[in-house]
Structure 1
Amino acid sequence: MIDVATALDSLHNGYSSTIVHCDLKPGNALLDEDMTGHVGDFDISKLLSGGDGMAQTKTLATIGYIAPEYGSEGKVSISCDVSSFGILMMGTFSRKSSTDDMFSEELKIVD
């Protein structure tokens, strides 16, 4: 998971324009033969070049891993990836999917 966090940091801070993955989920956090983590599938990623570090889009990501502001309003920022990473970490440690029945009603992680 540290490798995935490092990859996200590189996307967010390593280039002149910020890259937001927009669809971080278990299927896009990949391990190689040395168990090094990588981030894949950049189909819906966004390049943020504006000064406010945010963009508006109608592209949707995976239910259960999408940040609330992205899902409800289409607002894309690095916070979206941070939120998805947190949900990914929760799933890693709890061994539950973010759409598992245990997260219904009051225990919902995201709306």
Structure 2
Amino acid sequence: MQYRNHLDTRIHDAQDYMTKHLHTSFTLENMAEYVHMSSRNLTRLFKKTTGITIGAYLEKLRIDKAIHLLADGNKVSYVANQCGLKSTNQLRALLKKHKDVLPVNFTYI
């Protein structure tokens, strides 16, 4: 996946944590504790190492997962839940925001 072409194992661990817990409600503090860093240091190091913020990376994970789940024919409410979103409206807004990365034949829900 994009943004993983670095050698910092702590940032890899943070990226893995986000991927594994995408469907849950986790905080920056949870993730920082998992990788044994302060949230401030994790935020700084993540941006320095990957070139994007934690929030932007999390959005990219959600978009990728949503596209795959929707392409497999899953219901919109299920997809929103699996992407860690509270409602289908949040999913629609996220897809609209990132419409430039969606497949050409992909239609909004």
Do the two structures share a fold, i.e. TM-score over 0.5? no
Q: What TM-score, normalized to structure 1? A: 0.31
Q: Comparing both structures, which one devotes a greater share of its residues to helix?
A: 2
TM-score of the pair, normalised by structure 2: 0.31
